[in-house]
A and B are shown apart, each in its own frame.
Chain A
Amino acid sequence: MRASLQCMPHDHHDHDDPHALLPPEPALRVKALETLLTRKGLIDPAALDEIIDTYENKIGPKNGAQVVARAWSDPEFRGALLEDATKVVADLGYFGRQGEHVVAVENTEDQHNMVVCTLCSCYPWPLLGIPPGWYKSDAYRARAVRAPREVLAEFGVTLPADTRIRVWDSTAEVRYLVIPMRPDGTEGWSVDDLAQLVTRDSMIGTGLARQP
C-alpha cells in the first residue's frame, strides 16, 4: 500500500488535481479516460459494452417487482424475505454488485419506509438497476432525511396523517428494498399481474404501488 493513500492526495490546490488534466467537456473527459486505459491494455471496450448492456437491458426494477409481488402473494415467502432477504433474493438469482446484503422493509398503515443514501448514492442494483438521477441528486440526498413529506409531495404522494415515516439512510453495504402496501382490489391476482403494479419508486419509498 502506497503511503499516499493514508491521506488521499487531493488536498492541495485544485489546479494540481490529476482530474483537471482531462478535457473540460464531460463526454470528452470520459472518452479520454477510456482511450488512455484501452491503449494501456487495461480495459476492453467490448467489456464496457457488456456492462452497459447488463444495466440497460438485463437488470432493473422488474427484478424487485417480482420479489414484491411474490411477497404479496405468498405469506411464507414474505416471512422468509423479512427474516433474511439476502438469501431469499439470491435464491431468485438477484445477487451481485451493490446488492450483497439486502434487507426488506414493509410499508403498513402505521409506518411508511423510504430509502436514501445521504453520503453517496448506495442503491440495490441487482433488484432495481442503476439509480435514477433524482436519487443521486443533492436535493434528494440532502432533504429525504429531514423533510421526507415535502419530498413525497414532489412525487405526488400524500400519506395519511397518522402514518409515521421511517427513512433508511444507507450508510453501509446493506441495501434496503421497500415492500409497498398491496393495492385493494387485487385479490386472486397472479404474481406477474401484481408485479405490473410495483413501480421502481414504490420500492424506494418515494411512490406507492399503482392502483389497479
Chain B
Amino acid sequence: MTRVHDMGGRFGDGPVVPEPEDEVFHEAWHARALAVTLAAGALGQWNLDMSRHARECLAPKDYSRFSYYEKWMAGLADLLVARGVVTRAELAGEDPAPSPLADRKLAAGQVAAALAKGGPADRDAGPAPAFAPGDRLVTRLPARNAFVPGGHTRLPSYAAGQVGTILRCHGNHVLPDANAHGLGEQPEPLYSVVFDAADLWGAPERAGDEVTLDLWQSYLRPA
C-alpha cells in the first residue's frame, strides 16, 4: 500500500474550480511559504524526493485538511527537525542557536541563478534500457517501495499490476524510491508507458482513451 497522497482515480472529491490566469498566489502567505521552502531547500540538507516524501508522510487526516501550502509548511518543519537543522524546542519558540549551515544561506543575488540552474534528474550512469517502444509490460503489484516499507514510490496504486505499452525512453533518471531514503541515486531507465483507460478503470468515459505515466525500469517486467 502507498499513502494518502496517492489519490489518482479516487471518487468523491467534487468539481474542479477553474480560476483566472493572473492569480499567482491567493494569499501573501502562500508566496512566503513557497519562498521559505525553496530557500531552505537551497541549504542542501535534503533532495527533492525527500521533500516530496516528507509531505506524503503527513498523517492522512492532516494531509486531507491542510491546503497545498500548509502541506509544504508541515513537510518543511518535519524535515528541518529530521535533518537536525532546527530543534523541536526552537520550533516551539525557544531562542534559536546560530546554525553551522549559515554559510550556505541563499543570498538575494544568487536567486536567479539558482532557480535557472534547476536540478536535472537524468544521469549517464545506470543500466542500458531493457525495453523498447512498443514493448508490452506489466507494472509492480502492489505499488510499493521495494527498499523501505511505507517508503516513497512514484508508481500510483491505480496503475499497479496493469499492462501497458512503452511509448518512449527518457534515458536514465534518478530513482526516487532510493533517493528519498538516502540510498543513493541508483539511476535507471525511465519510460513513458501508455495504458488503456478501460484496463485502469473498468468502465472508461470513452473507449480508446488512454493514460500515460513515467515509470522506472524496476517498476516493470515483461507482460
Within the complex, the shortest CB–CB distance from B23 to chain A, in Å, comes to 7
Tell me if B24 is interfacial: C-beta within 8 Å of chain A. yes
Name the interface residues of A1-26: CB closer than 8 Å to any CB of B: 1-2, 4-11, 14, 17-19, 21-22, 26
Tell me if A72 is interfacial: C-beta within 8 Å of chain B. no
Q: Residue on B with the closest CB to A3?
A: B182
- Bound Cα distance A94, B154 (Å): 26
Whether A167 pairs with B24 at a CB distance below 8 angstroms is no
Name the interface residues of A66-112: CB closer than 8 Å to any CB of B: 95-101, 103
Whether A40 pairs with B97 at a CB distance below 8 angstroms is yes
Given A17-B78, A154-B18: A43 touches B209 (CB 8 Å cut-off): no
| Residues 143-156 of chain A, each 1 if its beta carbon lies under 8 Å from chain B, else 0 | 11111111100111
Within the complex, the shortest CB–CB distance from B173 to chain A, in Å, comes to 6
Whether B74 pairs with A17 at a CB distance below 8 angstroms is yes
Name the interface residues of B1-27: CB closer than 8 Å to any CB of A: 5-19, 21, 23-27
- Bound Cα distance A97, B29 (Å): 21
Chain A residues whose CB sits within 8 angstroms of the CB of B21 once the complex forms: 61, 132, 199-201
Tell me if A60 is interfacial: C-beta within 8 Å of chain B. yes
Given A8-B57, A40-B99, A146-B8: A171 touches B213 (CB 8 Å cut-off): yes
For chain A, which range describes its interface: under 10, 10 to 19, 20 to 34, or 35 or more residues? 35 or more
- Bound Cα distance A9, B83 (Å): 10
Name the interface residues of B195-223: CB closer than 8 Å to any CB of A: 197, 200-201, 205-206, 208-216
Chain A residues whose CB sits within 8 angstroms of the CB of B116 once the complex forms: 95-97
Whether A52 pairs with B32 at a CB distance below 8 angstroms is yes
Whether A47 pairs with B106 at a CB distance below 8 angstroms is yes
For chain B, which range describes its interface: under 10, 10 to 19, 20 to 34, or 35 or more residues? 35 or more
Tell me if B135 is interfacial: C-beta within 8 Å of chain A. no
Whether B36 pairs with A18 at a CB distance below 8 angstroms is no
Chain A residues whose CB sits within 8 angstroms of the CB of B11 once the complex forms: 142
Whether A40 pairs with B215 at a CB distance below 8 angstroms is no
- Bound Cα distance A99, B117 (Å): 10
Given B16, B19, B32, B98, which contacts A30 in the complex, CB threshold below 8 Å? Answer: B32
- Bound Cα distance A18, B2 (Å): 22
Given A8-B57, A54-B111, A100-B120: A145 touches B82 (CB 8 Å cut-off): no
Given A14, A44, A206, which contacts B106 in the complex, CB threshold below 8 Å? Answer: A44
- Bound Cα distance A49, B39 (Å): 11
Given A51, A101, A173, which contacts B38 in the complex, CB threshold below 8 Å? Answer: A51
Given A43-B106, A119-B8, A164-B210: A172 touches B36 (CB 8 Å cut-off): no
Instruction: List the interface of chain A (C-beta within 8 A of B).
Output: 1-2, 4-11, 14, 17-19, 21-22, 26-27, 29-34, 36-37, 39-44, 46-52, 54-56, 60-61, 95-101, 103, 116, 118-121, 126, 129-130, 132-134, 136-151, 154-156, 164-174, 199-201, 206
11 pairs, A vs B, C-beta closer than 8 Å? A9-B81, A14-B59, A30-B73, A32-B91, A43-B105, A46-B108, A47-B106, A48-B35, A129-B24, A156-B18, A165-B209
